[in-house]
Amino acid sequence: MTYAPPLTISRKKVLVRGSDEQFRRMIYALVQGVSRLSTFREIFGRQIGVTPSQFAVLLSVAHCQGRSGVAIRSLADHAAMAATHVTTEVGRLSRKGLVKKKPSPTDGRSVLVLLTSKGEAAIDGLVPFMRGVNDTLFKDLDAATMTIVYAFSKRLLINAEAAMAEVCKRELEDEMDQTRAALRRSPAAQDVVQAKRRLQRRLQRRL
């Protein structure tokens, strides 16, 4: 008898004749595609002596700074990165002489970020190479397709937050089950103390 694995997704709208094979193939292709994009980001960054994250922030500054500069929160939204991460990378880019910061005229607690002349030269020197790679990478794709892919990606990011909450809930329940099992085996055992501490740290991260 041939083993038939259970469905990895139950939503009927994504099943094809009751099968999740197309869904799984899409996931594999997505993972591979994201891996390729990450590799190209690393290559682009390497061309100008920065990390992939720093490259993303630098390019976002170039596109968002306007005349007066761009705030950290706006950079974070544009680059789809945490504001704390962007702050760290802006500091590193500043030390490399690629960006500069100035106080915000409307918010004393905020700073605005702009490219330096060195940063502009780095972007100008990189873009022809990056454009050639992108022209090949996105060959045969048009603006309408890009709009669909963008909408799909944004929805996936939103849904990922809810899915991660489910994962965290499951992990916390597993941790609690392990703690209760350890208590039943040996209430005074050292592994119980360690399990309690792990549970407390996990709970603190959830709050």
Per-residue pLDDT tens digits for 62-103: 999 998 999 999 999 999 899 999 999 999 999 999 999 999
Q: What is the mean pLDDT of residues 100-119?
A: 90
Statement: residue 42 has pLDDT above 60: yes
Q: What is the pLDDT of residue 110?
A: 86
Q: What is the pLDDT of residue 174?
A: 79
Statement: residue 108 has pLDDT above 80: no
What pTM was computed for the model? 0.78
Percent of the chain topping pLDDT 70: 88
Query: How far is Cα 2 from Cα 189, in angstroms, rounded to an integer?
Result: 46
Q: What is the mean pLDDT of residues 139-162?
A: 93
Q: What is the pLDDT of residue 104?
A: 86
Statement: residue 34 has pLDDT above 80: yes
DSSP 8-state code for residue 19: B
Query: How far is Cα 194 from Cα 201, in angstroms, rounded to an integer?
Result: 11
Residue 102's alpha-carbon distances to 41, 105, 141, 155, in angstroms, are 28, 9, 40, 35
Q: What is the pLDDT of residue 168?
A: 85
Query: How much of the chain is helix, strand and coil, in % rounded to 5?
Result: 70, 5, 25
How many CB atoms are closer than 10 A to CB 87?
17
Percent of the chain topping pLDDT 90: 69
DSSP, collapsed to helix, strand or coil, labels residue 61 as: helix
Token reading at 201? 């740290």
* Average of per-residue pLDDT values in the chain: 89
Statement: residue 197 has pLDDT above 90: no
Residue with tokens 């590193």: 92
Statement: residue 144 has pLDDT above 60: yes
Using alpha carbons, select from 107, 106, 46, 56 the residue that is nearest to residue 82. 56
